[in-house]
Every structure is written in C-alpha cells, then in structure tokens.
C-alpha cells in the first residue's frame, strides 16, 4: 500500500544551489542587449535564464564565474539550446556593446550582454539586490568595481528560482541545477 501511495507523488526538485522560489525581488529587467535590442525577462520564456552582474574589466571573479557558467551550459549537451545566459554590466561607461560582445563571445557566442545608462543600471541592480561601487585607479582603464557576485537562475516560465554564489561555483553544480529546472518546468 505504501509503495502505491509513493508512486502517485511527484517528487519536488532538489537543488544544490540556494532555492529562492517565491522571492519578491528580481521580477523585472529591461536593458539593451549588445545586439542593440531592448530585452526583458519575458523575451526568454521557454528557456532557463542564467543571470550574472559583472564587468568586462574584472580581473578575477567575473571571468571565473563566466567560465563556470560556460562550462555548465556545455555540460547540458543538447539542452544548452534551452538556456539563455545574460550578463548585466555594472560598468556601463566602459562596457560598450562591442566590448560586451567581444568579452562574452570568448565564453560562448550565444551569451548576451545587457547594458543601460547609470540610472538604468542602478534600477536593475536594486531590483536584484546587487551592490556595486567603483574604485578609481591610476586611469579609467584601471578602475575596479566591487560588486555582489551571485548567479540568478530562472526557470522556463520566467520565475526566479535559484541563487548560486558566484565565487567558486562548480560547473557540475550549476549544470545539475539548470538541468533539474529544465526537467521539472518544461
């Protein structure tokens, strides 16, 4: 009898990243892609979205995190086509559309860089609870940005579901969790 009862239950997905299903933030995003097209989260319904905030001149955390994301997407095999990676720049003064395109194509040409002016960047960063601050270097080429380094993952219905710290994430963990979202949300 217990075996029959267990067969009727649909198992709730389990994740290795932090499950933030039902979060009251991260609901809206409207920025311009490096391709010149204004994008919102709704544009990617039907795909899992992996969202990271960073900047192209970042010496360590951003390239390491983007490398992990790229590796995770590759591990998904044919399901990689059902994932859209979005990189939101927190340094719109230096991260031009061309710079974003060049930077992201080193990881995967399908990755999309999003940018806005300083005001639009602040609005989106606040919506996702991202903290960032510029530190002036010897020249503008040497400015650095302190920033939150988490990865947000949305399901195929456009719902924010997971948060993974952007520092030292394993591509295996990201691939497993994205695959689980793809499996359970269509």
Predicted confidence (pLDDT) per residue in 26-83, tens digit: 999 999 999 999 999 999 999 999 999 999 999 889 999 999 999 999 999 999 999 9
E strand segments, the chain: 18-19, 30-33, 38-40, 48-54, 83-89, 112-115, 132-135, 144-147, 150-154, 160-165
Of 185, 152, 172, nearest to 84 by C-alpha is 152
C-alpha distance from residue 177 to each of 8, 37, 132 (Å) = 24, 29, 27
**Mean pLDDT for the chain overall:** 89
The residue count of the chain comes to: 186
Is residue 58 part of an annotated ligand binding site?
yes
pTM of the model: 0.89
Structural domain spans, the chain: 51-142
62 assigned ligand-binding residue: yes
Fold of 51-142: Glutaredoxin (3.40.30)
């Amino acid at each position: 009898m217990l075996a029959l009862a267990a067969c009727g239950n649909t198992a709730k997905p389990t994740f290795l990243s932090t499950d933030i299903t039902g979060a009251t933030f991260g609901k809206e995003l409207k920025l311009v892609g490096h391709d010149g097209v204004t994008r919102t989260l709704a544009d990617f319904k039907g795909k899992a979205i992996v969202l990271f905030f960073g900047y192209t001149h970042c010496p360590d955390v951003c390239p390491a995190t983007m490398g992990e994301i790229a590796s995770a997407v590759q591990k998904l095999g044919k399901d990689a086509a059902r994932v859209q990676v979005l990189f939101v720049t927190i340094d719109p003064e230096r991260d031009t559309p061309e710079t974003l395109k060049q930077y992201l194509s080193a990881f995967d040409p399908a990755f999309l860089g999003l940018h806005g002016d300083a005001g639009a960047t602040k609005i989106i960063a606040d919506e996702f609870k991202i903290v960032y601050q510029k530190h002036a270097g010897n020249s503008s080429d040497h400015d650095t940005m302190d920033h939150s380094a988490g990865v947000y993952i949305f399901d195929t219905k456009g719902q924010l579901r997971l948060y993974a710290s952007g520092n030292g994430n394993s591509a295996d963990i990201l691939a497993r969790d994205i695959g689980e979202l793809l499996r359970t949300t269509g």
